[in-house]
Structure 1
Amino acid sequence: MHIQPYVYFDGRCDEAIELYREVLGANVLMLMRFRDAPAGADCGGAVPPPDKVMHACLQIGDSQVLCSDGFATGHPEFKGVSLTLNAADDAQARRLFDALAVAGKVQMPLSESFFASSFGMLTDRLGVEWIIVVAKAAPGA
């Protein structure tokens, strides 16, 4: 069993997909727009514009992130959750952190901590919170 995050971008999913392709090297494994749903399909009540993303699956490194425009009201809210990127090394951590921070907001600058050679927290331009980390080896490991 594993956990996959499902992120609702509330109308900005295409923008998110493009950002994560550019910055994280995301590959789109599946993308279905609302116009692709069969006639009469229940899309949860209100139906967003047909060009909006009903469901997509992004491969980012070894993980998959599912995403959608949801009801496409244009006001995504991401509260109480962060996506964590475990970078291969400090250089990759810096590159990812700086790229995701463009037009976003840094909560904790990327720096060394007692548990990581690199650790930082930010919110990207879409409002998604990210933690970037390069963990130090556990004592005795």
Structure 2
Amino acid sequence: MSVNVTPHLNFRGDARKALEFYQSVFGGKLVIAAYSDMGNTDPATADHVSFGQLTAENGFSVMAYDVYPHLEWDQGKDPFFVSVRGTDTAELQGYWDKLVDGAEVKQPLGPSEWAPLYGQLTDRFGITWVLDIAVAYPA
């Protein structure tokens, strides 16, 4: 059996914009089902995302949805990071260059003590991303 872990991001009305932005960064196929596709006729939430997934050929995958307005939701402060770890410096730099648009840079992309390339930013949707080049760590 193999297992894949896919970050599932929760939004309040911004899931579609966020997924479309991530598609512009990573490429891939985007699937979105709105609440109206599930029978919701409330005009306030009909276009909100009930299921969204972006999957790219390189293995990148992220899911997202818009939390129903009647449910409690608080994005919090850095409740998690989405880590994009790769082996190709140019590819990682390309993702960074797109994600950084409208973002708050927490650690500029560059060499670090633990990786040849590492950076951290919080994007315009409030999601914190960590991008780095994978290295082998001693046991």
Q: TM-score range by the shorter chain?
A: 0.7 to 0.9
Q: CA RMSD in A?
A: 2.8
- Runs of 4+ more than 4 Å apart: none
Aligned to 1:17: 19
Task: Provide the TM-score with structure 1 as the length reference.
Answer: 0.79
| Cα contact 1:48–1:72 (8 A) shared by 2 | no
Q: Tell me the CA shift for residue 76 of structure 1.
A: 6.8
Aligned to 1:43: none
**Counterpart AA for 1:34:** Y
Q: Tell me the CA shift for residue 68 of structure 1.
A: 0.5
Task: Provide the TM-score with structure 2 as the length reference.
Answer: 0.80
**Counterpart AA for 1:126:** F
Aligned to 1:94: 93
Aligned to 2:9: 7
Percent identity among equivalent residues? 25
Q: Which runs of 5+ in 1 are unaligned?
A: 41-45
1:26-46 Cα shifts (integer Å, max 9, x gaps) = 321x32111111479xxxxx9
Aligned to 2:55: 59
**Counterpart AA for 2:75:** E
Instruction: Please show how residues 108-119 of structure 1 align to structure 2 within 5 Å.
Output: 108-119=107-118
Q: Structure 1 CA distance, aligned partners of 2:6 and 2:83?
A: 12
Q: Structure 2 CA distance, aligned partners of 1:132 and 1:92?
A: 11
Q: Tell me the CA shift for residue 114 of structure 1.
A: 2.6
Q: Tell me the CA shift for residue 136 of structure 1.
A: 3.0
1:63-87 Cα shifts (integer Å, max 9, x gaps) = 43211011259x9725320001113
2:45 aligned to which of 37, 42, 49: 49
| Cα contact 1:48–1:71 (8 A) shared by 2 | no
Aligned length: 133
Q: Structure 2 CA distance, aligned partners of 1:48 and 1:2?
A: 34
| Cα contact 2:55–2:61 (8 A) shared by 1 | yes
SS where residue 116 of structure 1 aligns? Answer: coil
